[in-house]
Amino acid sequence: MQRVIDLTESGEALRRDPHPVYARLREQGPVHRVRFAMPGGVWETWLVVGYEEARAALADHRLAKDGAKIGAVPLDEQLIGKYLLVADQPQHTRLRSLVARAFTMRRVERLRPRIQRITDELLDEMLPHGRADLIDSLAYPLPITVICELLGVPEMDRTEFRKISTEVVAPTDPDSGQAAIVRLAEYLTGLIEDKRSAGPTDDLLSDLIRTTAEDGDRLSARELRGMAYLLLIAGHETTVNLIGNGVLALLTHPGQLAALRADMSLMDGAIEEMLRYEGPVENATYRYAAEDLEIAGTPIGQGEDVLVGLSAAQRDGARYAEPDRFDIRRDGRGHLAFGHGIHYCLGAPLARLEGRIAIGTLLERAPGLALDGEPGEWLPGLLMRGVRSLPVRW
């Protein structure tokens, strides 16, 4: 039996900067049995920290996402319904095919003018003040407005939704996390019923209610609620952290910021480096060994859970030279910030577009942009990687 490495000993340092911890693990091997501190207790799991091993694990069908296969159905699935991140083939293909057309490159590109308008309006409000919390003023309201408009979530609900959503992805304790999921399930049930009774409207959620595949297949009520849950949560939380982490990386690397200001054609590559260097998702959601298997020679027993370390893999020196250096001219292709395999993020094109517009417009309109104090605390838990606040001035 492999030795359990107790990461709880790292304390708050692991939350503030996990990369030195992951680097030490990679020096010892690509797969480890680790003990994490979680809200409400301690958890043991397998953690994959090597790039090649992580990429392979993300596409390994033996690592199931459907916890029912080992009798471990997660709470959000119990309360809300089946969604893409907790489905395996062939169910995953069926669910994804019923929603994928909404996130094609062509359809996302049609959102560009609206994303630009929202960004300009947010900056019109923010810039006269001379200083702001960038998370509250831009990084959060932009993607939440975009995804709510896309899905058809009423504007009056969005402030409350932020509180619920943040508690779902980064719970402060088990009770508050569970309460947030219950509230979100109730909210989505009511929203879907309202849309059913209101008749056809021009939004994605209404489209999903009406969508019928060629063979007559449709989303069930629970599947529809699960899809809305995933799109709302994943459709904005990751982009909030892409913008926040990306701007923080630029402001703490003034040479890279100056290079980008001097040549904004570097923006596409800069976004990819932001995703690699400090991606919005620290670890992929749990996978479960559907059978006995090995990862890099390490035996994983049937039923054991596995975390694929996205942040850890993207700082692997075997894949990226000088991995701890932030370099907007780096060829960052192949990073795992949006996952890999059949669970590759459906909304990646939308997140990239929002990141490019938000950060590009901010740099153009806020010369002298700089940190205005220390960033807020990093989010708790193993899933998301982002700060609660980012004070800036210009």
At 77 the pLDDT is 85
At 328 the pLDDT is 98
Q: Output helix, strand, coil percentages for the chain, rounded to the nearest 5.
A: 55, 10, 35
The domain ranges of the chain are 4-393
Burial class (CB in 10 A: 0-12, 13-18, 19+), 90: exposed
Nearest Cα to 250, choosing from 261, 241, 239?
261
Dihedral pair phi/psi, residue 20, rounded to 5°: -60, -35
Element (H, E) at 368: none
CA-CA distance, 110 to 260, in Å (whole number)? 26
Question: What pTM did the predictor assign?
Answer: 0.92
Nearest Cα to 187, choosing from 173, 210, 202, 205?
205
At 156 the pLDDT is 61
At 19 the pLDDT is 97
Contact yes or no for 289/65 (Cβ under 8 A): no
Contacts of 147 (CB under 8 A, 6+ apart): 153, 231, 232, 235, 236
At 223 the pLDDT is 87
Question: pLDDT digit of tens for each residue in the chain (394 aa)?
Answer: 578 999 988 878 888 999 999 999 999 999 999 998 876 678 899 999 999 999 999 999 999 999 888 777 777 888 888 889 889 999 999 888 888 877 777 878 889 999 999 999 999 999 999 999 999 999 999 999 998 888 888 876 767 777 788 888 878 787 888 888 888 888 888 888 888 887 777 788 888 888 655 556 678 888 888 888 888 888 788 999 999 999 999 999 999 999 999 999 999 999 999 999 999 999 999 999 999 999 999 999 999 999 999 999 999 999 999 999 999 999 988 999 999 999 999 899 999 999 999 999 999 999 999 999 999 999 988 889 999 999 999 9
Burial class (CB in 10 A: 0-12, 13-18, 19+), 374: exposed
Assigned CATH topology for domain 4-393: Cytochrome p450 (1.10.630)
Q: Give whole-number Cα distances, 267 to 120, 262, 386, in Å.
A: 18, 11, 21
